[in-house]
Amino acid sequence: MTLDIKKLTGSETLDIEHQYTVDDCILYALSLGFGDTASDRKALPYVYEGEGLMQTVPTMASVLVPDMFPPDLGWDYGQVLHVDQRLQIFRPLPAAAELLIDKRISDIFDLGEKLGALVMFEAEGRRKKDGSVLFQVGSTIMARGDGGFGGQKGSMPKAHRIPKREPDLVCDIETGGSQALLYRLNGDRNPLHADPAVARKAGFDRPILHGLCSYGIACHAILKTICEYDHTLIAEFDARFSQPVLPGDTVTTEMWQDGNTVSFQCSVKDRDAVVVKNGKCVLRT
């Protein structure tokens, strides 16, 4: 089975109904390491609804699109890599909502038989009750086993450049040994993140953390360090994935603030590994 390029290019699905609740918001926050409320009570509204206005992590929008990466596109799903994620937040995510989702495959680029194919996904979420647009998300997938089909050439969106100076701020967030098992309850049940045998077959010593979990951890770091846990400040959040995080790693997020733009990258110092790069967070002025 191979990619059906004519079928997939420009294909879209409209008005997908999706509902999420306060429990989903709490689960998502917990799966990013929120919950150490003994040391920082400002984080409590992300994991506890009894403190008044419930707060929502902006990057939760990335898990609100059902089957963003369907396994039945004809690709070799075992060689699929998530290489970047893009997000625009037009209105802060409410603590619970009924949504209508539009999603589509916007482009497929052929990098050659040895390199694979780039598949570009886009989605928009709006409130069912009034049609107001809450967010737009974009993702790029590298299908390493599906290049050489004779398609058009292309490349990923232009990467954001990180400043060359020393970071202005640094935040360390520890991950837990079971964090991938917890994060998968947000909807991504890929066995790569749970089954040691599947992880070894893919070339890893053990199950790895989801790329979107690392993405959310970076958002956690910026909320904690720059935004004082005010989720309404984040308007855009883009990043590229470069290496996997292993459950138990400490993720160090380095940040450079220039006006309302925060550049960031994440690394695991113990392994000298940059795991998230070319990060760009735009704050509302």
Percent of the chain with pLDDT strictly greater than 70: 94
Q: Are 49 and 95 in contact, with CB atoms under 8 Å apart?
A: yes
144: pLDDT strictly greater than 50: yes
Percent of the chain with pLDDT strictly greater than 90: 71
* pLDDT given for residue 15 in this prediction: 96
pLDDT digits (tens, 9 = 90+) for 69-85: 776 777 776 677 889 99
124: pLDDT strictly greater than 90: yes
Mean pLDDT of 220-244: 97
* pLDDT given for residue 59 in this prediction: 98
101-129 b/e (C-beta count within 10 Å ≥ 16 → b): bbbbbebbbbbeeeebbbbbbbbbbbeee
* pLDDT given for residue 114 in this prediction: 82
Chain centroid to CA 218: how far? Answer: 10
| pLDDT band, residue 7 (cuts 50/70/90) | low
| pLDDT band, residue 1 (cuts 50/70/90) | very low
| pLDDT band, residue 179 (cuts 50/70/90) | very high
Alpha-carbon span 156 to 146, nearest angstrom: 16
* pLDDT given for residue 132 in this prediction: 97
| pLDDT band, residue 166 (cuts 50/70/90) | very high
* pLDDT given for residue 99 in this prediction: 98
* pLDDT given for residue 201 in this prediction: 87
| pLDDT band, residue 5 (cuts 50/70/90) | low
4: pLDDT strictly greater than 90: no
**Which candidate, 252, 247, 267, 251, places its Cα nearest to that of 206?**
247
Provide the residue ranges of all domains of the chain, joining segments of one domain with +: 5-283
More confident call, 221 vs 53? 221
| Mean pLDDT across the chain | 91
> Pseudo-torsion of CA 239, 59, 105, 195, nearest 10°?
90
- Name 135's Cβ contacts closer than 8 Å, sequence gap at least 6: 61, 64, 87, 88, 89, 90, 93, 124, 125
CB neighbours of residue 96 within 10 Å:
15
| pLDDT band, residue 222 (cuts 50/70/90) | very high
213: pLDDT strictly greater than 90: yes
Under CATH, to which class is 5-283 assigned? alpha beta
* pLDDT given for residue 6 in this prediction: 65
Look up the pTM and report it: 0.93
134: pLDDT strictly greater than 80: yes
